[in-house]
Amino acid sequence: MATEQGVVGRVFGDRDDVMLTLLDNMIWPILAVVLLGVLVFVPQTFRSVQLILWGAVPIGLLVLAESLCLLSGHFDLSIGSIAGFSAMFTGMILGTCPSCWALTTSPWVGFAVILLVGSLIGLANGVMIAKVGLNPFLQTLAFLIIFEGAKTAMQTQPVTGLPSLYTQVGGTPRFAIGLMLVAFLITGLVLRYTSFGQAVYALGSSEHSAREVGIDTERLIIVIYTVSGVLSAIAGLMLTGFVGVVPPLIGEGLVFQAFAGAVIGGISLFGGRGKITGALGGVILIQVVQSALNNSQAIGATQIQMINGIVLLVAILLYSTQTKLRARILASGAV
């Protein structure tokens, strides 16, 4: 934060400047501490860094989707179920298992279908929120339940026999990691360097003001939820590739990790604030914690969900503390 001597400005001491910079980039020191802790207590976690990053790809894309929604002052509880439903629906079309529909074996049709399903569900979320005026929490909660239920209604067994190219996209570690990084890079650049990106921040800061300065907020909300749906569908594709089949529980519970990743990464729960680079840090942190839990002798598989909840709580506490500290420093420095 710069110093200023004018009428409209703030005078901060060097200490405050350092504190503000630290708070705005809180994820990196936290990540460093966590990495160090995992290195000391569960060193086997880092046997394969590539495996950690590969495992981070689906959650990374979901964090990206959630970050976009959070930055715009909205949120999407249905991202995990969109990932799961779109992957299952497409799997049913492509798969050769006995209860599959097996309509085609073309992976290209599969790519088109999964993206189309994700975008249509996202579009429906956006229309219901922007045009019909439903509360984002209730709308996306309803879709979470509906599409998780629809997925279970479609299939309760793993969907197998998928075309190899279809599973290779998420099953090739370097490609999958590259795709996630490109998605983060593009989203970060779009948010920073386009009017659309700045409109997302404006919407998150004040929907009323955004409308008054001429931003078509309804259209923007619809676009944001549609992009969130597409990113969630790609996450579903990556999850499918990661395990090579469509498991019946695909996508379930991931929304909470996505929230935790975004919030730990510094994305404001109330919109208008946060950087995509921070969200990427949040993804890495969440995945390292997951890998450490999986590798730890002390923690059983049945306890992991509970630990995930604790991580989410810690993320929210950190965010709350950060917000209070930031406001206190800036208020004390205001002229």
Residue 242 token pair: 């990661």
CB of 273 to another protein, least distance (A): 5
Instruction: Enumerate residues 9-28 that contact another protein by CB under 8 A.
Output: 9-10
112 contacts: CB under 8 Å, gap ≥ 6: none
Rg (CA), the chain: 21
User: In this structure, are residues 234 and 183 in contact, taking their beta carbons and an 8 Å threshold?
Assistant: yes
325 contacts: CB under 8 Å, gap ≥ 6: 19, 23
Choosing from 21, 131, 193, 253, the residue that interacts with another protein (CB under 8 A) is 193
Residue appearing with tokens 């999986």: 294
Nearer to another protein, 157 or 320 (CB): 320
Nearer to another protein, 3 or 156 (CB): 3
Phi, psi dihedral angles at 27 (to 5 degrees): -60, -35
CB of 210 to another protein, least distance (A): 7
Choosing from 205, 277, 296, 322, the residue that interacts with another protein (CB under 8 A) is 205
DSSP labels for 125-189?
A: HHHHHHTS---HHHHHHHHHHHHHHHHHHH-SS-B----HHHHHHHHSHHHHHHHHHHHHHHHHH
Choosing from 132, 208, 300, 301, the residue that interacts with another protein (CB under 8 A) is 208
Residue 23 CA to residue 17 CA, distance in Å, equals: 10
User: In this structure, are residues 248 and 152 in contact, taking their beta carbons and an 8 Å threshold?
Assistant: yes
Choosing from 7, 40, 153, 298, the residue that interacts with another protein (CB under 8 A) is 7
Choosing from 152, 198, 294, 322, the residue that interacts with another protein (CB under 8 A) is 198
CB of 270 to another protein, least distance (A): 9
Choosing from 86, 119, 268, 308, the residue that interacts with another protein (CB under 8 A) is 268
Nearer to another protein, 6 or 98 (CB): 6
Letters for 273-302 (x = contact with another protein by CB under 8 A, - = none) are x-----------------------------
Instruction: Enumerate residues 133-172 that contact another protein by CB under 8 A.
Output: none
DSSP labels for 182-225?
A: HHHHHHHHHHHHSHHHHHHHHHHH-HHHHHHTT--HHHHHHHHH
Nearer to another protein, 77 or 199 (CB): 199
Choosing from 52, 162, 179, 199, the residue that interacts with another protein (CB under 8 A) is 199
For the chain, the first-to-last Cα distance in angstroms comes to 15
Binding of another protein at residue 325 (CB under 8 A)? no
Nearer to another protein, 3 or 157 (CB): 3
How many residues make contact with another protein (CB under 8 A)?
37
Residue 323 CA to residue 268 CA, distance in Å, equals: 9
Binding of another protein at residue 202 (CB under 8 A)? yes
CB of 209 to another protein, least distance (A): 4
The letter for the amino acid at 240 is T
CB of 22 to another protein, least distance (A): 17
Query: C-alpha angle with apex 271: 334 to 27, nearest 5 degrees?
Result: 80
Cα separations (Å) of 144 from 61, 106, 254, 305?
A: 17, 29, 11, 18
Letters for 214-253 (x = contact with another protein by CB under 8 A, - = none) are xx--------------------------------------
Cα separations (Å) of 304 from 31, 145, 308?
A: 20, 23, 6
Instruction: By CB under 8 A, name the binding residues for another protein.
Output: 1-10, 192-195, 198-199, 201-202, 204-206, 208-210, 212-215, 268, 271-273, 330-331, 333-335
